[in-house]
Amino acid sequence: MTNIQKGLAEFIGTFWLVFGGCGAAVLAAGVPDVGIGYLGVALAFGLTVVTMAYAIGHISGCHLNPAVTVGLWAGGRFAARDIPLYVVAQVAGGIVAAFLLYHVAAGNPAFDLANGLAANGYAAGSPGNYDLIAGFTIEIVLTAVFLWVIMGATDGRAPAGFAPLAIGLTLTLIHLISIPVTNTSVNPARSTGPALVVGGLALQQLWLFWVAPLIGGIVGGWLYKTLGADSFPKPDIGGE
């Protein structure tokens, strides 16, 4: 595959993750009164990864996340020279998705951007008012676990064909755990788009949702490489 094909696949895939996941939160969640609630939002994020893993995994590996890209590099699965291409494509996809979601949401006269656009945050920006330390900790831990699962599910010794399901279900569980804490990032591209649209506090707190997931991604990738005896890896998420 060419770099253009890989970059476009990552752009489209990350667009779908942000538009589908954040779209479910903004348009359909209705928490706490009606709608799909936290469970529905968590499933929406997981389903975006499952569907795109099958759709573009064979093109780009379906990272959809700078922390995954950097984590796979730390785990010896991805070349450092390709990191900028993937990260730029992922962030661009997330930004376009967030602005399009805002355009759709604004079609409802009752929509108020002050209520957020599924932006991530801590303290005053946290759905459950969890502080900076809690948010930083959970984002590192959950991103590290996410990378561990990705590395394991795409190991050449793992059952073939099930990696997208394992990875998507893991992202679903991650959201079920941490939506109340940070609105769940584990993905800098997912955080950047809504923060740019909302501005203010969401943009001021965006640094955490780059730093913590990248640390967690590196830790998770390195741990699997070191402890998981990763002798027969597939190239990456969608590799065969």
Helices (H), 80-238: 83-105, 132-153, 163-182, 188-198, 200-204, 208-227
Within 10 Å of residue 152's Cβ, how many Cβ atoms? Answer: 16
In this prediction, residue 112 carries a pLDDT of 87
- pLDDT at residue number 32: 52
Identify which of 150, 144, 155, 159 has the alpha carbon closest to the alpha carbon of residue 215.
144
Residues 6 or more apart whose Cβ sits within 8 Å of residue 190: 14, 17, 18, 21, 22, 65, 94, 120
> Residue 156 CB: number of other CB atoms within 10 A?
13
pLDDT in 10s for each residue of the chain, 240 residues: 899 999 999 999 999 999 999 999 999 876 556 568 899 999 999 999 999 999 999 999 999 999 999 999 999 999 999 999 999 999 999 999 999 999 999 998 888 888 889 999 999 999 999 999 999 999 999 999 999 999 999 988 888 789 999 999 999 999 999 999 999 999 999 999 999 999 999 999 999 999 999 999 999 999 999 987 555 545 555 443
Strand-pairing partners, residue 233, are 155
- Domains in the chain (CATH in brackets) are 3-227 (1.20.1080.10)
Alpha carbon distance, N-terminus to C-terminus of the chain? 14
Q: Please report the pLDDT score of residue 115 as a whole number.
A: 82
pLDDT at 201: 96
Sign, CA torsion 49/138/176/93 = negative
State the pLDDT at residue 239.
41
The pLDDT value recorded for residue 171 is 98
* CA separation for the pair 40, 47 (Å, rounded): 10
Distances in Å between the Cα of 122 and the Cα atoms of 130, 138, 208 are 6, 11, 9
18: enclosing H helix or E strand: helix 3-23
